[in-house]
A and B are shown apart, each in its own frame.
Chain A
Amino acid sequence: GAVVSQHPSRVICKSGTSVKIECRSLDFQATTMFWYRQFPKKSLMLMATSNEGSKATYEQGVEKDKFLINHASLTLSTLTVTSAHPEDSSFYICSAFSGTGNYGYTFGSGTRLTVV
């Protein structure tokens, strides 16, 4: 079946630094990838949608300058949290959509970001 690899699984960084999270579709080409954020005891909130070769579409309230998304190829999307602050600490999950057949949403394993 479709596999999405996300790494790192956990990262600790200092305030003010930037962190990059990678999301790769291993055995299929992902025309669209999604980035979600999960707050403690809350649902997964869609942050942005990225389409290969074009600019990402951000959900309302998500700062596009803070959460930079790049989808340079059909198998790789990256989320860069710039100038990280403690309030950015969260669990980030990517999902890839193959655009074929069934609703092929496959999730990565998530990244636990802690900003100290």
Chain B
Amino acid sequence: DQQVKQNSPSLSVQEGRISILNCDYTNSMFDYFLWYKKYPAEGPTFLISISSIKDKNEDGRFTVFLNKSAKHLSLHIVPSQPGDSAVYFCAAAGGGADGLTFGKGTHLIIQP
């Protein structure tokens, strides 16, 4: 049973446009959400996070939106750049140090 779902395995966006990556979760005990970027054969790199008490967090070109009632979050990247091409993982954490639950990832491809 997948508790964190990323329903789009891949997404293609033109350079300069906005990339929107979506993530849904089922466990209402999750209270913290993170987005990671991952290149092949490398560990994930932290991008941005959001606490469940907020509905938006912004860091440069990256913005994460959280809709708790819908159990949905999204990562917006604007403007998209070629270096943004990678796999993006959505992850969720419950209370305490109990590891992260990851979605399956979305492969973002930025086209010139």
Contacts and interface: CB of A to CB of B under 8 A. Distances in A.
Contacts of A103: 32, 34, 49, 93
Interface stretch (A11-19, A41-49, A68-76, A79-87): A41-49
B65 to A, nearest CB: 18
A115 B49 CA distance: 36
B102 interface: yes
B111 to A, nearest CB: 22
Interface residues of B, number: 21
A102 interface: yes
Interface string A19-56: 00000000000011010000000111110010000000
Contacts of B103: 43
Interface of A: 4, 6, 10, 31-32, 34, 42-46, 49, 91, 93, 95, 97, 99, 102-103, 105-110, 112
Given A43-B104, A103-B34, 5 more contacts: A32-B97, A44-B102, A107-B43, A108-B43, A110-B41
Interface of B: 32, 34, 36, 41-46, 49, 89, 93, 97-105
